[in-house]
Structure 1
């Protein structure tokens, strides 16, 4: 049995607690190929339902491609801005919510829902388990990148059709996440949205339910 030492355990928790969504702090420094391979290898070792490994990784380096994705973000962000009102809208408008052009590398993580055929061990009851598995790959990638002192930003304000068209992703493949990767000038000591007062972190006690669901306040 492989035992985790206390130092190794502490390093894992340190990485988890210091993971951040990076937007404005990217540096132009190139990520070495061996470092990128380690990060992608970690992502590829995520758990997956039925061991189907439904993910693929589309690596984006082209400035032209990034410009097209940036335009897609601008359109989606303008749509999102209309959903907020008053002070919240002004606060939203002041936030930088992506680093598409600043990050030296973009990675689109996808899910091939047909990878191992129509019947997948463990997905027979909940058909979305393959999507959840791909999100596990995203988290593995994010934590591995942080352990390499590389920042990651998830660009969620982007329509899937923009990713399909710009990256040539087949119609049956589901884009899960477009991630911006690069070395950074700094990591915030708190999540940026928490630091800027968008929302506060929920207390652990408010989200734990013993035995059965209990009505609790989430303020």
Structure 2
């Protein structure tokens, strides 16, 4: 553990994920196992191109198309696959929908299960024991730390992902998005909103 802390300190100008990728890249390159350019392409693909953008497209389609939303609720694995996004391990997906009454939060208490094909690279905190244990015990407090203050009467459901079943949170569609096309809607869907540690962006907050 101490060694890991030292690495983080040494690479303190990098984000934790950058530091980890860099360390991994160095080891694999030294062993002659990879071409750094190839790794860069893979990381870029998962972090920006595939990753959260796939999930955002799924959410946008559900917002725009009630029939698709129904399919997603009933058989998320098939509905997501119909858009061309499937997991490498063939994991099953389940979509849980946020409503005015209920907010959903995803955690993986025993492992770091994460549907890369629809959410990209997992955030570092997702694997942290503190997040995993506290999200179950005090989800409201954890959400507040992420800047998500929910009304007291809104129920929070915590879903525990496993290697066999991974969850996708469908955030509530923001107000003021009537008439927006799916591409514009997808731009409002953040990775954190699909884990439940964030909300979809309002049109005004769009990047």
Larger Rg: 1
Which has the larger helix fraction? 2
Shared fold per TM-score greater than 0.5: no
Query: In which range does the TM-score fall when normalised by the shorter chain?
Result: under 0.3
Question: Which has the higher relative contact order, 1 or 2, with Cα contacts under 8 A spaced 6 or more apart?
Answer: 1
